[in-house]
């Protein structure tokens, strides 16, 4: 069954859950995690593109309290991101902007400490969250959407365009040979 096939009435009321993969375990966020979150999350670079910065312990406390308040109101399900093998907390993520009535949620509000960026941590965490939406353990939304800063999306699109351009040129070279590069730049009708 696809997420689009699930009626809004089938979406479950949000509640804390644990998600586990090969490298990552997502645990329900609690105030007990505050010190470990501060140890990896009070880095100015992590909050550079976020409207509300978390640079001090008090700000992290407010960040966690807000997430837990949203959870109590049924608007989010926040997690701490941990390494499965050691249990070390390396960041946080959540289901947010949950609307049971509309069968919708967003996946985001994610930050990962610098030493674990560009590793399997974020990829697997997002995979677990998406997979959970489609399986029995999740919320069963009709629509799940990733939430990312526009800057990150723009950078990814630019990278994909560059990569696609190189692949197009290489494919043209492979089809027409090394001396036909000019054809790629000419108008198709000429």
pLDDT at 14: 77
158 or 135: which leads in pLDDT: 135
188 or 106: which leads in pLDDT: 106
Full DSSP string of 28-57: E--GGGHHHHHHHH--GGGGTTSSS---SH
The model's confidence at residue 67, banded by pLDDT at 50, 70 and 90, is very high
pLDDT average, residue stretch 10-21: 82
- Residues 90-145 have pLDDT tens digits of 999 999 998 888 888 888 899 999 999 999 999 999 999 988 876 644 455 555 55
Dist. CA 131–CA 138, nearest whole Å: 8
pTM: 0.70
Fold of the domain spanning 3-146: Aminopeptidase (3.40.630)
Q: What is the three-class DSSP state of 108?
A: strand
pLDDT at 145: 52
Dist. CA 150–CA 156, nearest whole Å: 10
Domain edges within the chain: 3-146, 150-185
């Amino acid at each position: 069954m696809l997420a689009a096939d699930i009626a809004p009435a089938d979406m479950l009321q949000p509640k804390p859950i644990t998600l586990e993969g090969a490298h990552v375990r997502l645990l329900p966020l609690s105030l007990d995690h505050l010190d470990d979150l501060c140890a990896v999350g009070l880095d100015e670079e992590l909050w550079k593109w976020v409207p509300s910065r978390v640079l001090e312990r008090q700000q992290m406390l407010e960040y966690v309290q807000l997430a837990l308040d949203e959870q109590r109101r049924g608007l989010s399900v926040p997690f701490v991101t941990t390494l499965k093998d050691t249990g070390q907390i390396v960041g946080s993520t959540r289901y947010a902007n949950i609307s049971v009535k509309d069968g919708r949620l967003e996946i985001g509000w994610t930050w990962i400490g610098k030493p674990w960026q560009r590793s399997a941590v974020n990829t697997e965490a997002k995979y677990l969250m998406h997979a959970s939406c489609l399986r029995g353990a999740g919320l069963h939304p009709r629509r799940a959407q990733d939430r990312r800063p526009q800057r990150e999306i723009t950078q990814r699109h630019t990278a994909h365009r560059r990569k696609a351009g190189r692949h197009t040129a290489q494919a043209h070279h492979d089809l027409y040979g090394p001396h036909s590069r000019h054809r790629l730049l000419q108008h198709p009708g000429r």
